[in-house]
Chain A
Amino acid sequence: MNLGTMAELDYPVKRPDTCAPLQISIGNVPLSLFIRDETLLGPAVRRYREFAQNSANGFPVHLNEPETRTKMGEFSYLLDDAKLILGSRGAKFYGVRHEYALDSLLRILLTMVLLPQRGFLLHGATVVRDGRAYIFFGRSGAGKSTVASLSPEGSVLTDEISLLRYSDGCWQAHGTPFWGEFRAAGINRLFPIAGLYLLKQASDDRAEPLSLKEALRALLPCVLFFTAEKRAHETLLRTLMGLIEEIPCHRLHFRRNAEFWRVIAA
């Protein structure tokens, strides 16, 4: 090696990028997570193991690299000490100190990536029965985890964050790695959606059909959404209308026991 020549260089020599990405796919959105921090990589590999998928074209997500200024047209979101910057060619996560922060930023990223693809995340449990997905949604404390706990093992795609997406001519629910009380690894499968159920704890079990307007009003506060852009909200409204025009939506009065399945089956 000619050290003299090296010393004459007036710009730093950039080492080739040897960081192999952790490749995952959530809701058929391939992601390549570039995680250099070993203390973060291990937990991430474990957390998303059910969603590991080799894909050469994963949307690049770079974690904790030297921060650059947000460019025009980029979306940014601050979550406590962590930050997401999303551009058309990739995303950057800053200040990610633990897997929970990574998980939160991934949820925000997915809401943005799914939106133009007729997809979204919803505060809801997804349970599969006879090959079809039932979405039980509602705010915190509505009973999502209770519904999940009352459902057969292996039938719950998530007890906390459901992923709904229109593809192949129908609305489908995807498994997610985003869980609440169950803390499971998740199931990376998708099923056609049979129905949407707004949870309401009650003294009886019955399903009350909702009008389009009621359904839209019920869904909106339960959608994970992080942008204040008008066009994004218009897209979301269009997506939700497309969903409820095809999939029946009910208010499910239930007594926190498994009897609700009898009502749904009827």
Chain B
Amino acid sequence: MKGYIVRNPKLAWREVDGEMVIISPEDSQVHELNETASLIWKHADGRSLEEIAERISTEYEVSLEAARADIGELVTTLEQKQLVFVATEVKG
């Protein structure tokens, strides 16, 4: 699984009972993430998607392939909502 993921730095967020509540200050829009999406969000600090897939595979006891598939869909959604950015390589 290729790519590195990072949170949109403009957003304010808070973990509530293991799930993320995110606010976009510019338009006051509120986003709620489910447990898996919250896990991706928590680890979206520039690390690779493959690393996150491995973590989810271990944490939820699912195959790496299944974790990759789940992540792929969720990351696309998070990206579309501009909550995260995915880069093909790490800058700096």
How far apart are A210's CB and chain B's nearest CB, in angstroms?
12
User: Does A233 contact B16, Cβ atoms closer than 8 Å?
Assistant: no
**Which listed residue, A229, A230, A237, touches B14 by the CB 8 Å rule?**
A237
Give Cα A236 to B28, complex, Å. 12
**Which listed residue, A212, A225, A229, A230, touches B11 by the CB 8 Å rule?**
A230
User: Is B66 interfacial (CB-CB < 8 Å)?
Assistant: no
18 extra interface residue pairs, beta carbon distance < 8 Å, beyond A213-B17, A237-B12: A212-B17, A213-B21, A213-B32, A216-B14, A217-B21, A217-B32, A220-B23, A229-B25, A230-B10, A231-B12, A232-B25, A233-B23, A234-B14, A236-B12, A237-B21, A237-B23, A238-B14, A241-B14
Q: List 22 A-B contacts (CB under 8 A).
A: A212-B17, A213-B19, A213-B32, A216-B14, A216-B21, A217-B30, A220-B23, A220-B30, A221-B30, A225-B28, A227-B25, A228-B25, A228-B26, A229-B25, A230-B11, A230-B25, A231-B12, A233-B12, A236-B12, A237-B21, A238-B14, A241-B14
User: Does A234 contact B12, Cβ atoms closer than 8 Å?
Assistant: yes
Interface residues of B (CB under 8 A from A): 10-14, 16-17, 19, 21, 23, 25-26, 28, 30, 32
How far apart are B38's CB and chain A's nearest CB, in angstroms?
11
The residue among B16, B23, B30, B32 with the most chain A CB atoms within 10 A of its own CB is B16
**Which listed residue, B13, B16, B25, touches A212 by the CB 8 Å rule?**
B16
Return chain A residues, CB-CB under 8 Å to B16: 212-213, 216, 241
Give Cα A4 to B21, complex, Å. 71
How far apart are A183's CB and chain B's nearest CB, in angstroms?
29
User: Is A211 interfacial (CB-CB < 8 Å)?
Assistant: yes
Give Cα A238 to B36, complex, Å. 23
How far apart are A25's CB and chain B's nearest CB, in angstroms?
29
A residues 47-93 in Cβ contact with B at 8 Å: none
How far apart are B19's CB and chain A's nearest CB, in angstroms?
6
How far apart are A221's CB and chain B's nearest CB, in angstroms?
8
Give Cα A216 to B19, complex, Å. 12
Q: Which 6 A-B pairs have the closest CB atoms?
A: A233-B12, A237-B14, A213-B16, A234-B12, A233-B25, A228-B25
Q: Chain A: which residue is nearest B14 at the CB level?
A: A237
Return chain A residues, CB-CB under 8 Å to B26: 228
How far apart are B58's CB and chain A's nearest CB, in angstroms?
26
**Which listed residue, A211, A221, A228, A237, touches B17 by the CB 8 Å rule?**
A211
The residue among B11, B13, B19, B23 with the most chain A CB atoms within 10 A of its own CB is B23
Return chain B residues, CB-CB under 8 Å to A221: 30
Give Cα A69 to B32, complex, Å. 40
Return chain B residues, CB-CB under 8 Å to A236: 12
The residue among B10, B12, B28 with the most chain A CB atoms within 10 A of its own CB is B12
Return chain A residues, CB-CB under 8 Å to B23: 220, 233, 237
Return chain A residues, CB-CB under 8 Å to B14: 216, 234, 237-238, 241
A residues 231-252 in Cβ contact with B at 8 Å: 231-234, 236-238, 241
Give Cα A196 to B44, complex, Å. 34
A residues 194-220 in Cβ contact with B at 8 Å: 211-213, 216-217, 220
